Amino acid sequence: MQRAALTGVCGPLRGGARPRPVVSRRLVCLFHTGLRAFAADKELLVKLRKKTGYSFVNCKTALEKFSGDSKQAEAWLHEQAQKEGWSKASKLQGRKTKEGLIGLLQEGNAAVMVEVNCETDFVARNAKFQQLVQQAATGTMFHHQGAKDQLTTYTKHLMKAAELSQLRTGPAGCLLSDQLALAIGKLGENMAVKRAAWVAVPETYYIGSYVHGALPAANPSLPNMVLGKYGALVICQASEQSQKSNLADLGRRLGQHVVGMAPLSVGSLEDEPGGDMETKMLAQPFLLDPSITLGQYVQPQGVSVLDFVRFECGEDTEIPEAE
């Protein structure tokens, strides 16, 4: 009986040889199938984690909940994050948001400048927060997409938080308010999409721009997106005599002046030169050469300054009604 039992488990004993284990083919097959299933599950988990940015634990829970269906798992993760984000946003509401970033995006004859705020500079340097700033800029640009064609003069639209919250981030994008809640849920600070300015010009005009304290944009697919603490858009009209090749550099210098000197109006070339407390842009000492006024600097260039927008991150200001 004992020999028979050993034969069944280890194979027959011959010539006093040591027993050799017999492994069932079915057992081997099940073992390899299990390994393949484990590898496939792990690959799904890694892909879902990489695509969504949610934790491995949450991704694993989602995949188990939907039997490995990654599309349903992803949708469920977003839904849960949305709920958590809105809940956290509600709890954090009222906490001061004085830090953040200015985002400036230029596309052809149009430009957008946005301000998005948070509580600390540490979060302002986070890639997820910077992505929110980019979403606010692209959403504003998308919202005005049809309004930049066939212009005879420049147009400017200033937007407040309530209007911005209802924008979508693209043709099939989410509401900006939902993206804001998601960012709050992930980063744990109160945030606000405070304001935006959209400007578009016809062919004979151009938009000068400048961002101070510029950071590299987090999204390489938006090479025209710049982030920083101060920003300016300057709307100009170029004469036939102006050097087209120099307009970009000239626009940058005008933007630097607006950021540094903080004018309140454009004024005119007939204004008397003022001092450091002057608020009319053309009468102010030129930031890069205080021996002349800004008007005296631009006049020989064949350029007329028509309007400007200046954003300073965290400043207390009431945005005027849209024109």
Q: How many domains does the chain have?
A: 2
Full domain range(s) for residue 116:
99-312
The residue among 66, 92, 118 that closes a domain is 92
The residue among 77, 92, 107 that closes a domain is 92
Residue type, 132: L
Whether residue 53 is found in the same domain as residue 139: no
- The 8-class DSSP code of residue 198 comes to E
Whether residue 74 is found in the same domain as residue 191: no
CATH, residue 208: 3.30.479.20
Spatial distance between the Cα atoms of 49 and 43, rounded to a whole number of angstroms: 10
Whether residue 76 is found in the same domain as residue 212: no
- List per-residue pLDDT tens for the chain, 323 residues long: 444 444 444 445 455 555 555 555 554 444 444 444 445 577 888 888 777 667 677 788 888 888 888 888 888 777 776 666 656 666 767 788 899 999 999 998 999 999 999 999 999 999 999 999 999 999 999 999 877 777 889 999 999 999 999 998 877 778 898 889 888 888 889 999 999 999 999 988 999 999 998 776 556 667 788 999 999 999 999 887 666 668 889 999 999 999 999 999 999 999 999 999 999 999 999 999 999 999 999 999 889 999 999 999 999 866 444 44
Q: Is residue 323 part of a domain?
A: no
Whether residue 80 is found in the same domain as residue 117: no
Given a contact cutoff of 8 angstroms between Cβ atoms, the answer to whether 267 and 139 are in contact is no
Spatial distance between the Cα atoms of 175 and 279, rounded to a whole number of angstroms: 38
Whether residue 199 is found in the same domain as residue 285: yes
Whether residue 103 is found in the same domain as residue 223: yes
Whether residue 207 is found in the same domain as residue 292: yes
Strands 192-200 and 289-293, bridge-based pairing: unpaired
Q: Is residue 320 part of a domain?
A: no
Spatial distance between the Cα atoms of 84 and 86, rounded to a whole number of angstroms: 6
Spatial distance between the Cα atoms of 279 and 81, rounded to a whole number of angstroms: 47
Q: Is residue 219 part of a domain?
A: yes
Q: Is residue 321 part of a domain?
A: no
Spatial distance between the Cα atoms of 235 and 3, rounded to a whole number of angstroms: 99
Tell me the CA distances in angstroms from 131 to 14, 174, 176, 233, 249, one per residue in order.
Answer: 73, 14, 12, 21, 28
The residue among 59, 92, 125 that closes a domain is 92
CATH, residue 14: 1.10.8.10
- CA-CA-CA-CA torsion for 234, 236, 241, 243, nearest 10 degrees? 30
Spatial distance between the Cα atoms of 139 and 143, rounded to a whole number of angstroms: 6
Q: What is the DSSP string of 116-128?
A: EEES-HHHHTSHH
Which residues face 208 on adjacent strands?
Answer: 234
